[in-house]
Structure 1
Amino acid sequence: MPAPLRLGIVVDSDAKLVALRSAAQQAGQLVTDTRCVSTPESLDAGQLSIDVDAWLVDMDCSDPEGGANHSLQVLSALSVPVIVSDSTEVESSPAERSRWSEQLTSRLRRLAAEINLQAGPAAQNIWILAASTGGPEAVSEFLQHLPGRLPVAFLYVQHIGEGYSPALINMLTRSGCEAYLAEPCAVLKPGSTTLIDPGRRVDVQSNGTLMVSDEPWGGGYKPSIDQLVANVARTHGARCGVIVFSGMGEDGAASTRLVHQQKGQVWVQRPDSCVVDSMPRAAIATGCVSRTGTPAELAEALTRFVNNRHYFQEQANYERSATH
């Protein structure tokens, strides 16, 4: 789980402080320092803590003859990012207050993702492990047969009821996996397995970080395999793959076509080794599947596949040609 940003807040009124603190908490960040100054010209760089990751500032700098230039000079000299907010809409209608809060929350989350990326790069290649009934056992067997850290990140999309994610994380951890629950601004690290919670929608960014919200998943499944696979196919193209394991229904079949179109890989668990084979068979029926096998066989095949020195070169060649 990524650590929250340590934010400092500089404002010129108590009302702004309340509004910004609330927005920071909504974005999942930690407020560690606050400064309420009477006028912009009273802002003193010596009073600003260096033990923060970023400063969130909201002051009235509309008077160019006043302290505007002074405050801007102080802020531009800081060694950490500064987000300047305009909370004039806070005193307007409820709809405008909500829009202002959502925009600020989004900015804070993007900044947190960028800072988290500086601590360690994201995996260039993402493989989605899709499953429903019988999935936990199959996925656990697959992960146990992988040797150490492969240069890929796994997203595990399992149809489960809300509230069962912690138990599934514990099961994966006990089997020796580096497993996490999807969190806002998290970086998809090589060798890690990130579980997608059914109660929170997850979007994967092109830089390998996650955006997590309380918006509902599209369609009738939670989480939606089709929605997430289509998302990753768009952001990572030939650098994505999907393995469909045991499960009931057809979730994931439609989006495998998009993965195939992007030159990504589509594999499935061999139907006769599944507890329920509906999902693998639906994927096979699309004509996009290039490999089948038991969970152990798929793990061995993936190890050979990503260790092939031509794998990443072929992806790079395809993506270069797609941009011309």
Structure 2
Amino acid sequence: MAAPLRLGVLVDSEAKLTLLKTAVSQVGQRIDYCALVPGPDASETMSVLSLDELEQVSDLDAWLVDITHAEDDTRLSPGAAILSALLSAPSPVLLSDSSELGSGPAERMAWVARLKSRLQRLIGEVNLQSQKAANSVWVLAASTGGPSAVSDFLRALAPDLGVGFLYVQHINEGYSPALMNMISKAGHYPAGTAKQGSVIGANTVTIVDPVKRVEIQENSTLVLHDEPWGGCYQPSIDQLVANLARTHRQRSGLIVFSGMGNDGSASCRFIRQQRGQVWVQDPDSCVLDSMPAATLQTGCVDRIGTPADLAQSLEIFLRQSNFDEEPQAHESSATH
């Protein structure tokens, strides 16, 4: 389990501090420093932060700030100066607004839920400071026969292509560690399991666990939700691929390997609409060809091949791609 974030909290009342402490604790993070910004409700029981002290606590991972400013109140000018200094510092700053907090229990619960969601996304922002995100993200989708096919694909793939893979394999709970060990031994792309705030790093494989639903952010970080995947597939290829198409557009890709069922066939249309790539394993080389065959029937497939063929094709495609420019239009039919 990843170490919790070391957060600094900056507020102008102790009531706000109590609320923020509750939310931070519920998402598994910790507060290493908290201080009160001078204001009309200042209390002597909390330390009052100064600009000089701000420099001494600059090694925190991020700041959580909830300060109410009144432009006509000159007593809040120290708080404004401190906030300005924080926003120009390298550590991420999450601005909370407790003025949105209603008086009833339902409103309070909704506010805390929104804050917890923002804190979960903050983990990814912090992780991005130390890990480079992938230039493009491709989903490796599989079910029965998938681990062997995906291993063959990664074994044949050239190193350092800058791509990040999300491996969505239909498996039972508890099998992710064994799958990670198997995939890490195949080729040059180390595997890890999806965690809260994980960065989809360049030249890595992130295995999506079947228990918690995973959401992809536009900055290539992951948010894990407590609720399970919807539908009959765990994890759901269609849900994750639809999410990826929305966040990464032409920087997204899907490769459907051996498997039973039709998971992935619905969402491949979203990838195609956003000018991403949809590839499938040649059904003749699959242990079970239901998933590739269902995807082929959509008419959205750009390329078909054995796992080794697809690896060679991906190397060529990525080396020729310039994601800073508009992508070329898709060909009208699949190529072998």
5+ residue gaps, structure 2 = 330-336
Structure 1 position 279, deviation (Å): 0.5
Q: Which residue of 2 aligns with 1:139?
A: 150
Report the CA distance shift for 1:85/1:235 in structure 2 as closer, same or farther (over 3 A): closer
| C-alpha distance in 1 between matches for 2:301 and 2:73 | 67
Aligned with 2:118 (options 107, 118, 124)? 107
Deviation at 1:86? 4.2
- 1:170-207 per-residue CA deviation (whole Å, 9 max, x = no partner) reads 22223353112122322211111111111221222222
Q: Does 1:154 align with 2:162?
A: no
SS of aligned partner of 2:250: helix
Partner of 1:300 in structure 2? 312
**Structure 1 residues 286 and 297: alpha-carbon distance in aligned structure 2, compared to 1, 3 A threshold:** same
> How far apart, CA to CA, are the structure 1 residues paired with 2:130 and 2:196?
16
CA change 1:111–1:129 in 2 (3 A) is same
Which of residues 167, 188, 198 is equivalent to 2:210?
198
Q: How far apart are residue 102 of structure 1 and its match?
A: 1.8
1:44 corresponds, among 43, 49, 52, to 49
Kept after mapping to 2: 8 A contact 1:250/1:278? yes
> TM-score under structure 1 normalisation?
0.85
Structure 1 residue 319: Cα displacement: 8.2
Alpha-carbon offset, residue 156 of structure 1? 0.5
| TM-score for the superposition, normalised by structure 2 | 0.82
Q: Is the 8 A contact 1:206 1:236 kept in 2?
A: yes
RMSD: 3.0
Amino acid at match of 1:112: I
Residues 255-276 of structure 1: CA deviation (Å, up to 9, x unaligned): 1122223332211112122221
1:156 and 1:195 in contact (8 A); partners too:
yes
* Deviation of the 1:247 alpha carbon: 0.7
Q: Could you say which residue in structure 2 is the equivalent of 1:34?
A: 34
**Which of residues 296, 309, 312 in structure 1 aligns to 2:322?**
312
Question: Within 1, Cα distance between the matches of 2:34 and 2:49?
Answer: 13
Cα gap change, 1:9/1:261 in structure 2, threshold over 3 Å: closer, same or farther?
closer
SS of 1:254 mapped into structure 2: coil
Map Cα deviations across residues 91-120 of structure 1 (whole Å, 9 max, x no partner): 843322221112212333333333333334
Distance 2:247 2:12 in 1: 41
Go from structure 1 to structure 2 and tell me whether the alpha carbon gap of 1:91 and 1:316 turns closer, same or farther (over 3 Å shift): closer
SS in structure 2 of the partner of residue 157 of structure 1: strand
Give the deviation of 1:61 after TM superposition.
6.2
Cα contact 1:237–1:263 (8 A) shared by 2: yes
Q: How many residues align?
A: 317
